[in-house]
Amino acid sequence: MEDEKYLRYDLHCHTLYSKCSFQRIRDILKFAKWRGLSGIAITDHNEIRAAFEAKRIAKRMFPKGRFEVVIGEEILTDKGEVLAYYLTERIRPGRFEEVIDEIRKQGAICSIAHPFTRFRKNFTGSLRSASKLVDALETFNSRNIVPGANSKAESAAGRYGLGITGGSDAHFPFEVGSGYTRFPESLPLEKAIRLRKTSASGTVMLAPFGIMASWLSINARK
């Protein structure tokens, strides 16, 4: 029997539509392909217009090759940020439980972003309670520079029986693909997450450069 083949998707990526990023959509797609990814989720802060635009552009850029653009969003809640995938409409920031309800209404899936991060928006609610509502935890985020943040998230996902997602949290092209989600080619991504058939990995080596570039970007726009 042949060995199972796997795909890699970067499930956390920002564009110009996020004020902390100067990343153009075409650059994201080019770097994603160059990094050997089979797909990417555009997850701007509280915004999905760029994700739809990226999906249209990808169809023209890669008409014959398999490359999926997932319509995503990083949504601010009162307990932290949530990553939503396969959305059809934008979801506004709000209470955690209400945001999850809106995600479910669209038949989308969700993962708590960087739950144990430091100096950013970590998750402040009860993961035990949240595990009954969400599909996954982001267990690898390439901008988690504090040691242990990613491994704590991975341990929590196992403890609470949740799926796993990973991504670069890229705000600039050089970061794209530095974090990713790996899953069997035989499964659609959303099913792999729900069945806990995913893993997450990458590097945090580029994080200091990306974080500094974001800080400069935010101040340049003030």
The token duo for 219 is 């101040």
Q: What mean pLDDT is predicted for residues 92-98?
A: 98
**32: in domain:** yes
**1: in domain:** no
User: Which pTM does this prediction carry?
Assistant: 0.93
CA–chain centroid gap for 96, Å, is 18
Half-sphere exposure of 75 (CA within 13 A, CB side): 29
Q: What mean pLDDT is predicted for residues 60-84?
A: 93
Share of the chain above pLDDT 90, in %: 79
Distances (CA, A) of 7 to 66, 73, 186, 193: 10, 21, 9, 13
Share of the chain above pLDDT 70, in %: 93
Could you tell me the CATH number of the domain that includes residue 204?
Answer: 3.20.20.140
Q: What mean pLDDT is predicted for residues 122-129?
A: 96
Pairing of strands 109-112, 136-141: parallel
DSSP state, 17? T
Q: Name every residue whose Cβ is closer than 8 Å to that of residue 47 and which is 6 or more positions away in sequence.
A: 17, 18, 73, 90
The token duo for 161 is 């029986």
Task: Select from 77, 79, 61, 63 the least CA-distant residue to 25.
Answer: 61
Number of domains making up the chain: 1
Q: How confident is the model at residue 1 (pLDDT cuts 50, 70, 90)?
A: very low
What is the domain range of residue 69?
6-220
**153: in domain:** yes
**29: in domain:** yes
pLDDT tens per residue across span 171-215: 988 999 999 999 999 999 999 999 999 999 999 887 767 667 676
**144: in domain:** yes
Q: Name every residue whose Cβ is closer than 8 Å to that of residue 148 and which is 6 or more positions away in sequence.
A: 116
Task: Select from 170, 121, 205, 222 the least CA-distant residue to 22.
Answer: 170
